[in-house]
Amino acid sequence: MARRPDAGAGYAGRPAAVTSHFLRQALLLAALAFVPAIGQAIYFRERVSWQSPIPPSEMVTVRQARAWGADVIWVDARPEEDFTHDHVPGAILLNEDRWNELLPPFLATWSPEKKVVVYCSTQSCNLALEVARRLRNEAQLKDVYVLQGGWEEWLKQKK
């Protein structure tokens, strides 16, 4: 059986072949990496950016919010029955269940120099994120923050 002159020599002496081989491998790996990425993009196509974790600059701790004193408007984004049961003193109810009805009374108390701190329960923490997002994007208010740890953290620090 005739043996090719370069058989067994690997890629030695064939830099072009080596480059081509590695390039093919790299392209194959890149293509494979794209498969889950494309799958995820299709699956989560309805998820918009606000559903991503919010930047830390838009979060506030109970201690920080309390330090703002009277310059804060507390917004309770929990369901109405939770608000009725108990809430941060002076807080205003504003949730997406009755957004159109509850927004005007909130805006009547708002003024540009005030900071808005939105909280909800840790059991349903997305509520505060969504209320804060709508206040920023739709009403175009500045200085809107979400309370870290929500209502439970407030209760803990109240003691």
Partner 1 sequence: MKNPKLSLFIVSGLLALGLISPASAALKWEQTTLDLYPAVGDKDAVGHFKYQNTGDKPVRFKSVRTSCGCTVAQTQKDVVPPGEKGEITATFHIGDRTGAQMKTVIVETDDSAPSVTLTLKATIPQLLEIKPTFVFWQANESPTAKTVNVTASKDFPVPQIKVTSSNPDFQTKVEKVGKGEFKIDIQPKTMTKPSSTALTIQPENSSKVFNVSASVMAAPVVPAVVNPAATWHVVPTPAPVTPAVPQP
Closest approach, Cβ 97 to partner 1, in A, equals: 4
Does 51 help bind partner 1 (rule: CB under 8 A)? Answer: yes
Cα diameter, the chain: 94
Rounded CA separation 132/154 (Å): 18
Q: How far is the CB of 92 from partner 1 (least distance, A)?
A: 14
Q: Which is nearer to partner 1, 20 or 126 (CB)?
A: 126
Q: Cβ-count burial of 5 within 10 angstroms (0-12 exposed, 13-18 middle, 19+ buried)? A: exposed
CB of 31 to partner 1, least distance (A): 25
Q: Which stretch binds partner 1 (CB under 8 A): 19-27, 29-37, 125-133, 144-152?
A: 125-133
Query: At residue 46, what is the residue type?
Result: E
Matching residue, tokens 């997002």: 133
Residue of 50, 52, 96, 49 whose CA lies nearest to 75: 96
100-117 b/e (C-beta count within 10 Å ≥ 16 → b): eebbeebeeeeeeeebbb
Residue number with CB closer to partner 1 (5 or 101)? 101
Stretch that binds partner 1, among 26-34, 52-60, 68-76, 130-138 (CB under 8 A): 130-138
Told to check if 52 binds partner 1 by CB under 8 A, we report no
Burial (Cβ within 10 Å: 0-12, 13-18, ≥19) of residue 77: buried
Stretch touching partner 1 by CB under 8 A, among 57-65, 66-74, 85-93, 122-130: 122-130
Of 61, 107, 115, 153, which one interacts with partner 1 (CB under 8 A)?
107
Closer to partner 1 by Cβ: residue 62 or 127: 127
